[in-house]
Structure 1
Amino acid sequence: MRQQQTQTHYFYALKLPNEVKQKLNEYCQSIQSEFPFSRWVHKEDYHITLAFLGHAPQDKLETTKMLIKAAISEFKAFPLTIQSLGTFGRSDAPRIFWAGIEPAPSLVDVRAAVFSACEQAGFKLETRPFHPHITMARKWQGDASFPLSTAELEKYFTTPISFQAQEIVLYQTHLDKSPKYEAVAIFPL
């Protein structure tokens, strides 16, 4: 019998506090019937991606851990606010439905430190501009087009959620599980 090999992927992310995950999950549950996406993200998998590594050999992961620890040593916990909704992909059939983060210089600085440490360790990272967000659902499945414009989405999330960003986490992906992200290293701010 041939074993199916699934490649494990790794990424660094900002962990959300449990109470924030719960509030986001409650919000998602309240709107799921209006927005037929194929997959809603498990509440334990909510996070803000800082650097996606993809498949990674153990020695390079160990190097990133060392470099990340040094790179973020001067950072302290900082406030963030989830304040908006948005989509990636086609406006009529989005690929990703997300909650957006209010612009925060501390988040940009932490992301730059993590990103740079991963590049130093030899990873080739995505070069798209940083757009901090929390993925809530994937793949539009509606019979009709996605019903909200960008401007309407901004008004749809009426209660901002504020929290302290306190931990950077190295996550490992398990595509066959739910939740599918496992914390393999944690770096407190």
Structure 2
Amino acid sequence: MQRQPEPRLFIAVSLPAGLKRMLADWCEKQSETWAFGKWVNQEDYHITLKFLGNCTPRQIREITEELRGLAAVASPFSLTLAGLGTFGRPASPRILWAGVSGDLPALTSLEQKIGNRLAPLGFPREERPYRPHVTLARKCQMHDFPAPELLQAAWPERLTQTWIVRELILYETKLGKQPMYHAMARFPFR
């Protein structure tokens, strides 16, 4: 009997469906002039709070218990999409992302609480500063990608929308599938 591979998981908050659609429409238009190897499927738009990697059934039970407890004392908060940015070399970035503003103290606090609760379960705290974002595209194929000031000018004001975050989501990554991320469990805030 062949053993199933351990699921690859992460914890995130999602965007509302209407905003995902608007963002995907904008990305589709941009893809005509900005050459990236992969544009993210609209159903995969999210803001990562904690990457977990491959998890055993026992770890999944423990993670679920911790997230349920955390969500039970968390309050909804608002976030807003805010502009564009990149990771990697500016002329040929690895990642194109949409920034996030709004109640960043609440989002950052949630990220830290998740890290603190899961560290004893074998998931080390992230040492890099938390940079919340929504990944839009990966692997730029250009060597003259727009400078940051031109990038900001490309951001349409209609996408600067606010929404209320009301839950945590435990996602499983299914490589080779579209969409690639599937909600394994949802944890509504009180």
TM over 0.5: yes
Question: Does the 8 Å contact 1:53/1:125 carry over to 2?
Answer: no
Post-superposition shift, 1:74? 1.9
Aligned length: 184
RMSD, matched Cα: 1.7
Structure 2 letter corresponding to 1:17? P
Flag the 1:92–1:7 CA change in 2: closer, same or farther, 3 A. farther
Post-superposition shift, 1:154? 2.4
Alignment of 1:84-163 (within 5 A): 84-102=83-101, 104-142=104-142, 144-146=143-145, 148-159=146-157, 160-163=160-163
Cα distance in 2 between the residues matched to 1:52 and 1:124: 10
Cα distance in 1 between the residues matched to 2:187 and 2:14: 10
The superposition leaves residues 48-99 of structure 1 with CA deviations (integer Å, 9 ceiling, x where unpaired) of: 0000001111111211111111123221221110011000011111100000
Where does the alignment leave 5 or more consecutive residues of structure 2 unmatched?
A: none
Where does the alignment leave 5 or more consecutive residues of structure 1 unmatched?
A: none
Structure 1 letter corresponding to 2:154? Y
Q: Compare 46-55 and 121-130 and name the one that shifted more.
A: 121-130
Q: Compare 114-123 and 125-134 and name the one that shifted more.
A: 114-123
Q: Please give the TM-score of this superposition, normalised by the length of structure 1.
A: 0.90
1:182 aligned partner: 182
Cα distance in 2 between the residues matched to 1:21 and 1:158: 14
Post-superposition shift, 1:124? 2.3
Post-superposition shift, 1:6? 6.5
Post-superposition shift, 1:118? 1.9
Cα distance in 2 between the residues matched to 1:115 and 1:151: 34
Flag the 1:149–1:51 CA change in 2: closer, same or farther, 3 A. same
Cα distance in 1 between the residues matched to 2:174 and 2:119: 24
2:28 aligned partner: 29
SS in 1 for 2:99: strand
SS in 1 for 2:90: coil
Structure 2 letter corresponding to 1:98? W
Q: Please give the TM-score of this superposition, normalised by the length of structure 2.
A: 0.90
